[in-house]
Amino acid sequence: MAMAVAENKPHAVCIPYPAQSHIKGIMKLAKLLHHRGFFITFVNTEFNQNRLTKARGPDSLNGFPNFQFKTIPDSLPPVELATDSGGHPISLVCPRSSTPPSDPNATHDVAALCGSVRRNFLTPFRNLLAKLNDDDNATPAVTCIVSDGVMPFTIKVADELRIPVAMFWTFAACGFMGFYQYRALLDKGLTPLKDASYLTNGYLDTVIDWIPGMKDIRLKDLPTFLQTADPNNEIFNLCMESAESASQASAIGLHTFDALEQDLLDTLSSMFPHVYTIGPLQLLLNQQVSPELESLGYNLWKEEAECLQWLDSKEPRSVVYVNFGSIVVISLQHLIEFAWGLANSNHHFLWVIRPDLVIGDLAILPPEFEADTKEKGLIAGWCPQEEILNHPSVGAFLTHSGWNSTIESLTAGVPMMCWPFFGDQVTNCKYICNEWEVGMEIDNNVKRDEVEKLVREFMEGENGKKMKNKALEWKNLAEKATGPDGSSTFNLDKLVNVLLSRN
């Protein structure tokens, strides 16, 4: 009986780029589509599916009506756990290297993964859809594809099957526009760099004044993958190819909302026929999630719920939340500088330190730091970030400025101390600090005195109050965009209509 109902449903195959933040964004959109009546097949790589079930439990992805998980291989070498001379696990993961991950619970190397997406994902994805369409009516026929923006091979498969495909970018409009400029930067000879000295000789301060909808942008403010001397750089080429192919999609979705990036969105709408802002996704989900999917989670690490209990014991806006996301890796020296900056500020802090956060070493803090901060701080391996940011005790967010973290912070009305690492994080940081006026940037070569000073400014100073008030303004506009008559709600309706049409 249940399958008879499913047979009449539109069937969306949803596939994220194989990384934590992308999985989270595409999963949220999949939940919204499920609420709108779609049968969902969610496609992870085998590696990430194993991580998801390990983090959430072996049966955590089963038993959801009209929502199933399938896998394809990532075609990367098997992962082996590396250890130091004492037999302790270490991490060698670095987004700028080509080293396979040494920790089976770590994110795959970005360059290797991008290369595999470009060359190895098309055939298994095509075969998976053929199997879904030929499984003796166990599922309805595939009627559309919802793809991560940086998985452009899905456009070819959709064209072969003559079904619509929506490319959803889990980025801001400013990030997408930055990636879209890669071809022009290449054609103008601004990238690749002549040699490594161009990273430090002032060249990256070159002003780029010809990008429509973006002002006061320097090369260093655009997504960092252009900062390469290698014309065959895998990440640069995948991002360039993905942005270029966006025009071939039936629709382009962006995880933002109109009021936040109006000028840029007006420009993009004049360049592409079907651009839809659908965000913040969590605010839409709060109103539209199917009750039977509420327990379906996204995190590839096990969440530590005691973080929320610890926050319950703290005063309103008294805690600095620190999290550098799922991919960023830092040096042990930078870890220690952040640690002492937080300790010396004398404010409460909740700090997420992943097992693979430190490059080639264990993320071990000095014993004297732990003794000095045992009453002030809490260290966690991972946590339910959106619940943390929305907790009344959190007053500021020290972040890498990844887009998920940025829009979640804006949604919660929390100002940001920004330490961008790579990719669109630098572009987000530029907008956070200069356009949206809700943050301040920490120097790349972080020092404890600067961290201490900035924490005090955010938690005690006048600038901190101004940024908090501005963040609350953006929160209110985000809530308006996702309300019953809001722009993001309206755009979700439009996207659904596109996905229900046939090519």
Point out the least confidently predicted range of 188-202, 232-246, 362-376, 486-500. Answer: 362-376
Estimate the share of the chain in helix, then strand, then coil, as percent rounded to the nearest 5: 45, 15, 40
- Check whether 85 has a pLDDT greater than 50: no
Residue 9, judged by CB atoms within 10 A of its CB (0-12, 13-18, 19+), counts as middle
Q: What is the pLDDT of residue 79?
A: 54
Closest CA to 31 of 303, 287, 249: 287
Q: What is the pLDDT of residue 88?
A: 41
Catalytic residues: 22, 148
Select the more confidently predicted residue: 81 or 122. Answer: 122
Q: What is the pLDDT of residue 106?
A: 54
* Mean per-residue pLDDT, 110-127: 96
Contact 456, 345 (CB under 8 A): yes
**Sorting pLDDT into bands at 50, 70 and 90, what band is 450?**
very high
Distances in Å between the Cα of 1 and the Cα atoms of 8, 119, 134, 145 are: 12, 41, 20, 26
- Check whether 503 has a pLDDT greater than 70: no
Select the more confidently predicted residue: 66 or 88. Answer: 66
* Mean per-residue pLDDT, 191-212: 96
The DSSP bridge partners found for residue 207 are 218
Give residue-wise pLDDT tens across range 263-319: 999 999 999 989 999 999 999 999 887 777 877 888 887 888 899 999 999 999 999
The two three-digit tokens of residue 23, written as one number: 């999985």
> CATH: 3.40.50.2000, 3.40.50.300, 3.10.310.30, 3.40.50.720. Which one for 305-480?
3.40.50.2000
**Sorting pLDDT into bands at 50, 70 and 90, what band is 433?**
very high
Give residue-wise pLDDT tens across range 147-173: 999 999 999 999 999 999 999 999 999
Closest CA to 398 of 356, 358, 457: 457
Domain ranges in the chain? 11-80+106-175+233-298, 305-480
SS3 sequence of 403-440: HHHHHHHHHHCCCEEECCCCCCHHHHHHHHHHHCCCEE
**Sorting pLDDT into bands at 50, 70 and 90, what band is 6?**
low
Given this chain, do its domains 11-80+106-175+233-298 and 305-480 carry the same CATH topology?
Answer: yes
The two three-digit tokens of residue 184, written as one number: 């022009």
- CATH class of the domain whose range is 11-80+106-175+233-298: alpha beta
The two three-digit tokens of residue 90, written as one number: 């270490």
* Mean per-residue pLDDT, 86-113: 50
Q: What is the mean pLDDT of the chain?
A: 91
- Check whether 96 has a pLDDT greater than 60: no
* Mean per-residue pLDDT, 93-109: 44
- Check whether 92 has a pLDDT greater than 60: no
Point out the least confidently predicted range of 43-47, 104-108, 204-208. Answer: 104-108
- Check whether 98 has a pLDDT greater than 60: no
> Torsion over CA of 210, 213, 218 and 221, rounded to 10 degrees?
-140
Q: What is the pLDDT of residue 360?
A: 79
Give residue-wise pLDDT tens across range 236-249: 999 999 999 999 99
Edge to edge, what strands does the sheet with 377-380 contain?
A: 377-380, 348-352, 319-323, 394-399, 416-418, 439-441
